[in-house]
Amino acid sequence: MEAEAAIVLAVFLGGLVLALATGAPVAVGMGLIGAIGVAFFVSVPAVAQIANLAFAESASFILVVVPLFVLMGEVLARSGMGEVLFRAARVWLRGLPAASAVSTIGACAIFSSVCGSSPVTAATIGSFAVPEMVRQGYRRSFALGATAAGGTLGILIPPSVPMILYGVLTESSIAELFAAGLLPGLMMAALLAATAMLVAHFDRGAAPREVIEIKPGERGRSLRDLVPVLLLVGGVIGSIYAGVATPTEAAAVGAAGAMLLALSWRRLTLEVFGASLDRTVRTTAMFLLLLVSGLFATFMLSRLGVPQAVAEALSGLPLPPWAVLAAIVATLVVLGCFLDPMSILVIMVPILFPTVVALGYDPIWFGIIVTITIEIAAITPPVGFNLFVLRAAVPGASVVEAARGSLVFVLPMLMGVVILFLFPGIALLLPGMMR
């Protein structure tokens, strides 16, 4: 790497660490460092570029998908959908070891298909599932860990807000990213469920031997509750895969469908609708602020040749491509212990993406690898969003308990990365059929 580029990168990362140490949000820190860097290394008038970026991104039609998908997930989350999914999953999975834990992961997988947020998925399912598991005799740390891990599926099974961010940052097709996430998402759900069953088998104190009794007609009622949700999922995601609708159009249908479902359940009160809108505005504002500040910092780094220099240096190392990729994954996992998933994307993807392309890896495939890797950030202390969300959503829960129960689920996530590296077709099959 050229000395100038190395110095710029070191100053950028050092300044960002300093900004975070003061308690400033990542978006503010990146925007400030980007502005100072542009003024110092490019020109003072060039700082006005941040206004052009902010206008262009906020006026982008494709980004309308973000508030629409967030609204869909928020409305369903506040309409009692978590309890419906958990009870239905228990009816059909009751014969498995650790049936309630497996049902929690299954419910998270289904809810993930209508919600692009990991913390929302964990809170929605966990607020009902964790107290129920504890009541049945589950160790609370195990119940919290299974729920936190299941919640990570919220950003892998489409729709996914981080995938949208990755697509914008790398100019990749969001529809193809959504398609690429489906099979790995189902694979990851199976790995997490298998891990829960293995824990229950080897640690008898983690989960009791459950006897879940089913009342007459309960299977039919569970299907009746699930069918509208599955139809909504099929309509939204299926229309994107089939090429019938763009992600933005499908998101609009999904948001409208979610409100109709909530109305049919008589749960769409003014309070629920207002709270959903409030959360949607907050999430969208955070997303746009991160995106604009990240793109501005990327503009500064690109003008100084930093990503290109990093790509040239890493691709020129006397190492096989898989070793460089393994180092990238390890770096992202370590960063996940201190930063939230969205911040990791904004900071690292613009720097590392040229390297991955230079090594010959598919950008869509790498997007899924990154998504799984930053999932780990959601359940690893000290900054694991799902851990803190569950502490707030579950009475009596603690972050330490949630972290202790979650760590065992890091292994299947890393296994998922290895499997996708060995069999990239799992992620690329559906996108290839769309092309």
The answer on pLDDT for 195 being more than 90 is: yes
Among the ranges given (3-17, 69-83, 122-136, 183-197), the one the predictor scored with the smallest mean pLDDT: 3-17
- pLDDT exceeds 80 at position 58: no
Asked if the model's pLDDT at residue 212 lies above 70, the reply is: no
What is the mean predicted confidence (pLDDT) over 28-42? 84
pLDDT band at 191 (very low <50, low <70, confident <90, very high): very high
CB of 93 closer than 8 Å to CB of 150: no
- Predicted confidence (pLDDT) per residue in 300-332, tens digit: 888 878 888 888 888 777 889 899 999 999 888
What is the reported pLDDT for 418?
94
Q: What is the mean pLDDT of residues 285-297?
A: 86
pTM, entire model? 0.89
pLDDT at 84: 83
pLDDT (tens digit, 9 = 90+) per residue, 391-426? 888 888 888 888 899 999 999 999 999 999 999 999
Going by C-alpha positions, the residue among 358, 359, 298, 274 that lies closest to residue 323 is: 359
Q: Residue 323's CB: how many other CB atoms inside 10 A? A: 11
113 within 8 A of 233, measured Cβ to Cβ: yes
What's the mean per-residue pLDDT of the chain?
86
Domain count, the chain: 1
* pLDDT over 60 (residue 1): no
What is the mean pLDDT of the segment spanning 187-213?
87
Domain boundaries, position 276: 3-434
Of 146, 97, 109, nearest in space to 126 by CA: 146
If you average pLDDT over residues 51-59, what whole number do you get?
79
- The whole-number pLDDT of residue 218 equals 66
